[in-house]
C-alpha cells in the first residue's frame, strides 16, 4: 500500500492536464461563513437590539458591478436572533467600514453622518478655493470674525464666573504655602526632639553600663521578730547558742540532767559540797538525798511540762524558784546541825 500522506504523486507519461474538465461555478455564488456583527444595530421588524461582536452563521456573496480600486465588495446575509428576519450589509473599503443595506438600522449613526457631512463640506470648500481667489479671502475674513466672537464669549463667561465665585486664588495659594512651611517646620522640630531623646537615653545607658554593676543599693534593716519558744527547754538552747562555743568537759550529773548554771533563775537548784571532812559525808546522807531529790524533782517537772504551751513558762519558773529556796534552807539547817555535833564531840 502507498503512504497516506505523500508529497510526490505519480503522473503517468501520457498525462495531459488540458484534458481535465474545468468546474464552472456562477459568479454570484454564496458561501456560508462564520462572522461577528461589525456594529450595533436594531431590527426593523421586531425592534431587537443586536450588539457588536455577536456571532452569526452568515451567507457571503460578491457584489456584481461594484469595485473600489480593483477591490471586490462583499455582501453578508444574517438573521435576527428573535424574529429571524433577514438583515444585509456590505463592505466599504473606501472608509474601511461596513454599510447597512436592509432589515435593520445602525445605532449611533447620527455622529457618523455628521462627521461625513463635515468632511464633504470641507472638500467642497477646498474645491472652490482652488478656482476662486476672492472666495479664499472671504473665507479668511469669516474665520477671523468667528474667532473674535468666540474669544469675546469666552471672556464674558470668565468675568461672570469671577463675579459669582468671589474666590481669591492668589490668597489660596499663599495660605497653602504657609501651611506647607508650618508643616515642614513642625516635622523638623519633632525629628530634632526625637533625636535628642534617643541620644539622652543612649548616654544614660552607657553611664549605667560603665558603673559597677555588682554594687546594689543597701536594703533597709528589717526588724527581727522575737522568737516565741515552742517548748520550755528551748530557753536553755538559745542561751547556749548566744555564748561562744567552748569545748568543756561536762560533769557526770550534767550529762543526765543538763547544764543549769547558764540560767540565773535555775542556778540555785544544785549546790556543790566542799569535801572538807569525811565525817560530814556520812552525816549528810539525808541531806544528800534531799539534795539529790531536788534536781530529780525538777527534771521530772520539766519532762512533764514539755507538753505545756509557752504561756505556762512563767508559772513553772516561779515554782522552780520556790523549790530552790526550800533546798537552800534545808541545806543550811543540816550544815548548822553538823557543826553543833562536831563541837559537842570535841
**DSSP letters of 17-39?**
GGGSPPP---TT--EEEEEE-SS
Task: Give 149's pLDDT tier (boundaries 50, 70, 90).
Answer: very high
User: What is the pLDDT, as a whole number, of residue 137?
Assistant: 86
Q: What is the mean pLDDT of residues 308-335?
A: 56
Task: Give 281's pLDDT tier (boundaries 50, 70, 90).
Answer: very low
Q: What b-and-e string marks burial along 226-260, b requiring 16 or more CB atoms within 10 Å of the CB?
A: eeeeebbeebbeeeeeeeeeeeeeeeeeeeebbbb
Is the pLDDT higher at 23 or at 179? 179
User: What is the pLDDT, as a whole number, of residue 305?
Assistant: 41
pLDDT of 308 strictly over 60: no
Q: Give pTM, 2 decimals.
A: 0.36
Share of residues in the chain with pLDDT > 70 (%): 59
Q: Is the dihedral of CA 98, 99, 101, 106 positive or negative?
A: positive
pLDDT of 237 strictly over 80: no
Is the pLDDT higher at 204 or at 90? 90
pLDDT of 303 strictly over 60: no
Q: What are phi and psi of 52, to 5 degrees?
A: -65, 135
User: What is the pLDDT, as a whole number, of residue 181?
Assistant: 94
**Ranges 67-76, 276-285, 328-337: which has the least confidence:** 276-285
Taking the C-alpha atoms of residue 31 and residue 40, their distance in angstroms, rounded to an integer, is: 24
Joined grid coordinates for residue 22: 474545468
**Ranges 8-17, 26-35, 150-159, 337-346: which has the least confidence:** 337-346
Task: Give 235's pLDDT tier (boundaries 50, 70, 90).
Answer: low
User: What is the pLDDT, as a whole number, of residue 39?
Assistant: 92
- Digit-coded pLDDT (tens) for 165-212: 676 778 888 999 999 999 999 999 999 999 999 999 888 888 877 775
Amino acid at each position: 500500500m502507498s503512504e497516506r500522506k505523500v508529497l510526490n504523486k505519480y503522473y503517468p507519461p501520457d498525462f495531459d492536464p488540458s484534458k481535465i474538465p474545468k468546474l464552472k461555478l456562477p459568479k454570484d455564488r454564496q458561501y456560508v461563513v462564520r462572522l461577528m456583527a461589525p456594529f450595533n444595530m436594531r431590527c426593523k421588524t421586531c425592534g431587537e437590539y443586536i450588539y457588536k461582536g455577536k456571532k452569526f452563521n452568515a451567507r457571503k456573496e460578491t457584489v456584481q458591478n461594484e469595485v473600489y480600486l480593483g477591490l471586490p465588495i462583499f455582501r453578508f446575509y444574517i438573521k435576527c436572533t428573535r424574529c429571524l428576519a433577514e438583515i444585509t450589509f456590505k463592505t466599504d473599503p473606501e472608509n474601511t467600514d461596513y454599510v447597512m443595506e436592509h432589515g435593520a438600522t445602525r445605532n449611533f449613526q447620527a455622529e457618523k453622518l455628521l462627521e461625513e457631512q463635515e468632511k464633504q463640506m470641507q472638500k467642497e470648500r477646498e474645491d472652490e478655493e482652488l478656482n476662486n481667489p476672492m472666495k479664499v479671502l472671504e473665507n479668511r475674513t469669516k474665520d477671523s470674525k468667528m474667532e473674535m466672537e468666540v474669544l469675546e464669549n469666552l471672556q464674558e463667561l470668565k468675568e461672570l464666573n469671577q463675579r459669582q465665585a468671589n474666590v481669591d486664588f492668589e490668597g489660596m495659594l499663599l495660605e497653602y504655602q504657609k501651611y506647607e512651611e508650618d508643616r515642614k517646620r513642625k516635622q523638623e522640630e519633632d525629628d530634632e526632639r526625637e533625636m535628642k531623646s534617643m541620644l539622652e537615653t543612649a548616654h544614660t545607658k552607657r553611664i549605667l553600663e560603665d558603673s559597677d554593676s555588682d554594687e546594689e543599693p543597701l536594703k533597709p534593716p528589717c526588724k527581727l521578730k522575737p522568737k516565741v519558744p515552742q517548748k520550755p527547754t528551748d530557753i536553755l538552747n538559745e542561751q547556749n547558742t548566744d555564748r561562744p562555743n567552748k569545748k568543756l568537759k561536762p560533769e557526770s550529773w550534767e550529762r543526765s540532767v543538763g547544764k543549769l548554771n547558764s540560767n540565773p533563775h535555775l542556778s540555785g537548784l544544785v549546790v556543790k559540797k566542799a569535801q572538807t571532812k569525811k565525817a560530814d559525808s556520812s552525816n549528810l546522807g539525808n541531806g544528800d538525798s534531799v539534795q539529790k531529790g531536788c534536781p530529780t524533782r525538777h527534771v521530772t517537772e520539766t519532762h512533764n511540762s514539755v507538753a505545756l504551751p509557752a504561756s505556762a513558762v512563767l508559772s513553772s519558773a516561779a515554782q522552780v524558784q520556790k523549790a530552790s529556796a526550800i533546798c537552800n534552807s534545808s541545806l543550811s539547817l543540816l550544815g548548822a546541825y553538823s557543826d553543833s555535833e562536831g563541837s559537842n564531840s570535841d
